[in-house]
Amino acid sequence: MPLTLTVSETGGFELHEPDEWFDGTITAIEETEGQWGDGIKFVVELDGDTYTTDDGTEYQRETWAFTSQKLSTRSKLYGWARGLGWDPDDETVDLETYVDFRCQVMFEHYDGHDSDGNPVEKEKVVKLRKGKGKAPAKKKLRAVDDDTAPF
């Protein structure tokens, strides 16, 4: 059964164009536990992917991409590993090596439902690969945390 990588609900954000590569930086890699067992969450900040609240505060938008920790030649994790430049067939890798790593992300759209059960179009990360070039200069943006999140 193929693994699915899902980005959280759009929350009113514009969806990314499907089947196009977006440049970004992996800012964190975390272990997660989900419906189908242990997983990995890649946190990616895409270049220029910010939003501004009604009060004029600008935030960096994060893209979350989830995958199972199960590694097989048919898994998303395997494809991502090869795309990021390591060979999962003969190598052990510390995923922390890929924090602050330039990458490219590709999205796919699908039909889903919001928290009230209404039909909405959602997106998920379907491909991840090594990026090109250096990260753009960081602007000073407010960090989003549970106390200051505008949503």
CATH of the domain at 90: 2.40.50
Task: Give the integer Cα–Cα distance in Å for 74 and 76.
Answer: 7
Contact criterion met (CB below 8 Å) for 97 and 80? no
Please report the pLDDT score of residue 137 as a whole number.
Answer: 57
Specify the number of domains making up the chain. 1
Q: How many CA atoms lie within 13 A of 41 on its CB side?
A: 14
1 in a domain, yes or no? no
150 in a domain, yes or no? no
Please report the pLDDT score of residue 132 as a whole number.
Answer: 82
Q: Which domain holds residue 97?
A: 21-130
Please report the pLDDT score of residue 71 as a whole number.
Answer: 83
Please report the pLDDT score of residue 145 as a whole number.
Answer: 54
Please report the pLDDT score of residue 51 as a whole number.
Answer: 85
Low-confidence ranges of the chain (pLDDT < 50): 1-10, 141, 149-151
Tell me the whole-structure pTM to 2 decimals: 0.76
